[in-house]
Structure 1
C-alpha cells in the first residue's frame, strides 16, 4: 500500500537506480506525472510528459477497448473485435480521443519544446498498470522516436499486463505485481485525481 503518488514514486525510484545513459523520465498523463516527478528527482533526470487516451466502447466510455496518442497508430485489445464495430465506428472513436490527446499535449508543453528522445534511455512512468493498452500506445509512440532504450515503470501492476507490456518495452520495472490486483487505486491510501493544473506545474517546476 502506497501513501500517495509521491510515496509511490520515491519507492519506484529506488528500483530504478542506474546506471542510465542520458536518461529522460516521461510521466504518462495524468496520474503518472506525480510519480514520474519523484522518479526524475531520484535519478537526477529531466521530466517530460507522454499522453495516451483510452478509447471507450460506444455508450460505455469507461470500458476501454483501445488507446491512441496524438500522432501514433491506435492500439485495440481483443474486446474491440468482439463488439462487431465497423471500421468507420472505430475510426470515429479513435479520432475523438486523438484530438483530445493533441489538446493535452499542447496544454502540458505550455510553449516548451518536447525533450528529445533519440539516443537516450527513456523511462516511461505511470501510477499503475491495469490492462496495459494505454501504456502500449504510449510506448509505441516513444519507440518511434528512436530512444537508446525504453523502460516502462509503475509502482503496482497486474501480472498479465506486465507480460503484455514487456513485449513493447526493453524492460518493465514495478515495486509490486500482486496476484489479487483488481484495480490501481486499491493500492493507494490517497488516489485522488491528478488535475491538468498539477501536471503543468510539475512539468514547469522540473524543467
Structure 2
C-alpha cells in the first residue's frame, strides 16, 4: 500500500500544498467544498479515460456525500454510497469504539476492552446502528440497485478520519467484493488512523495528518450537519443535458455590433457569460475549452466579442474598462430577454461571469453595477486592479485564479482580494499568465465548475439542490 500524505502533512504552523495550488494556513479548510476540490486535484490520476473504465467514488453518509459528489464530478466518475456507522462509546457517541457495516460485519477497537465496555452495551449499539443503516438504505437508494464493485477502481471518500474504524470497516467491506483498486481519500486523518488503514488499500491520500487531531471539525471553518434530504438530492440521478440549443446572437450598442454564441442545455443549471481579455475575441481557445467543460456539467454559456471589428482593429478601447463593462451589462440584459423565451420561462436561471485578463476587470465592474443579478464571478489571470474602485461594491462571490508564475498579476490579485466582500484567491501551481502549461487550464475549469455550481445552487429552479445552502463566501489569502 502506498500512503500519500499531502505536502506539509505534519506542519509546524504554515504549510504549502504545492500540488494543490494554494496556500493553506495551518491546513484549515474553508468548508467541505474547498476540501473536496483540493482532494480531487490529488486524485486526478484516476480521472476517467473512457466510459467503460469510469472509477467509482463511494461516500460514507452523511457529511462526506457533499465531498464525494464533487470528487466524482471532477474525475468523471460514478457516485454511490457505502453504509457504515461508527459504534459510539458510552456517554460519548462521537468517540468510535468500533464500526458496523450494513452487511452486519462488526469491527471492535482496543478501546472496548481498555474501557471495560460491556457486551450488552456493544450488542445494543450494534442493533441501533444497523437500524439507522437500514433506514438510510431505504431512504437514499431504494429505487436503484447497489453498484457492482468487482474489478473497478473504487475511491472511498470521507471528510476526516479520527480513529479510522469507520473507514476500516468500509475498506474491508469493499475488499470482500474484489475491486480492481481500492483508494482511501480524506482531507485530514490522525496518525493512528493512517497507520490503522495502511494495509487495507492500494493507496491512501490525505492532505493533512496532524499530530493533534481532537475533532474533525477543528480543521474546517464551516462544518455544518448534512441532512438526509440533502443526501437524497445529491444522490438523485442528474437530469439529462444532452440536447443543447446553439444560437448566434448579436449585441447592439449604437453603431457597434458584437457577435456571440449562446449554448443552452435543455435544462440549464445556470448560465456563464464570458468576457475575453485584450487582443482576444469570442474565439479564444482557452475560453472555448473552459466553456465546453461547463457545458458538460449542464451550464449554459455565452461567448461574445466585447468590441466591434472596427474597435478591435484600432486597439484604442481594449483597456476602456467602463466601455467593456457596459457591453457586458448589455449582453447580460440581452441574455435575460432570450431566457424569457425558453420553455417554462428561464427567468429563474442564475447568471455568472467568467473573465480573463482585462475581461475580468470588466466582469467585476459590471457585477458591481448589476448587484444580485450576478450570482458568481470567476477571474482567470485577471486584472481586478483595473476595477479597483468598484470591487467593494461587488456582491457576487468572486474566485480569483492566478498562476504562481504570473508574479506581477498575482500581487495585483492579492491586493484586490482585500477589497472584495466575498472573495477567494486560488493559486494554480506551474501556471503562467495564459495557462498554457499542461493541465493548468483544466485546473481552472475544475475550480470554475465547482465555484459556479456551488454558488448557483440556491438559484436553480429546475434541478436539485446539490450542494446545500448558498455559500456566504469569505476572503481567503
Q: TM-score, normalised by structure 1?
A: 0.92
Gaps of 5+ in 2: 1-27, 48-52, 240-477
Matches within 5 A, 1:153-168: 153-168=185-200
Q: Could you say which residue in structure 2 is the equivalent of 1:9? A: 36
CA shift at 1:115, angstroms?
A: 1.4
| Cα separation, 2, equivalents of 1:187 and 1:61 | 20
| Cα separation, 2, equivalents of 1:80 and 1:165 | 19
Q: Could you say which residue in structure 1 is the equivalent of 2:11? A: none
- 1:176-196 CA-to-partner distances (Å, cap 9, x unmatched) read 212333221111111001111
| Cα separation, 2, equivalents of 1:196 and 1:185 | 19
Residue 66 of structure 1, aligned match among 98, 107, 119: 98
CA shift at 1:123, angstroms?
A: 0.1
CA shift at 1:48, angstroms?
A: 0.5
Summarize the Cα distance change of 1:60–1:176 in structure 2 as closer, same or farther, 3 Å threshold: closer
Is 2:86–2:100's contact at 8 Å kept on the other side of the alignment? yes
Q: Could you say which residue in structure 2 is the equivalent of 1:184? A: 216
Higher relative contact order (CA 8 A, sep 6+): 1
| Cα separation, 2, equivalents of 1:83 and 1:188 | 30
CA shift at 1:151, angstroms?
A: 0.8
| Cα separation, 2, equivalents of 1:83 and 1:183 | 20
| Cα separation, 1, equivalents of 2:195 and 2:95 | 21
Is 1:72–1:137's contact at 8 Å kept on the other side of the alignment? no
Matches within 5 A, 1:46-125: 46-125=78-157
Q: Could you say which residue in structure 1 is the equivalent of 2:203? A: 171
- 1:136-163 CA-to-partner distances (Å, cap 9, x unmatched) read 1111111111111111100111122111
Is 1:23–1:122's contact at 8 Å kept on the other side of the alignment? yes
CA shift at 1:59, angstroms?
A: 4.1
Q: TM-score, normalised by structure 2?
A: 0.42
Q: What count of residue pairs does the alignment treat as equivalent?
A: 207
Is 2:188–2:208's contact at 8 Å kept on the other side of the alignment? yes
Partner SS for 1:40: helix
Gaps of 5+ in 1: none
CA shift at 1:82, angstroms?
A: 2.2
Is 1:47–1:206's contact at 8 Å kept on the other side of the alignment? no
- 1:90-132 CA-to-partner distances (Å, cap 9, x unmatched) read 2232122112112112211141112111110000000011110
| Cα separation, 1, equivalents of 2:179 and 2:123 | 29
- 1:45-64 CA-to-partner distances (Å, cap 9, x unmatched) read 01101121111233443332
| Cα separation, 2, equivalents of 1:177 and 1:86 | 32
Summarize the Cα distance change of 1:173–1:109 in structure 2 as closer, same or farther, 3 Å threshold: same
Summarize the Cα distance change of 1:84–1:106 in structure 2 as closer, same or farther, 3 Å threshold: same
Is 1:27 the counterpart of 2:59 in the alignment?
yes
Q: CA RMSD in A?
A: 1.8
CA shift at 1:205, angstroms?
A: 4.5
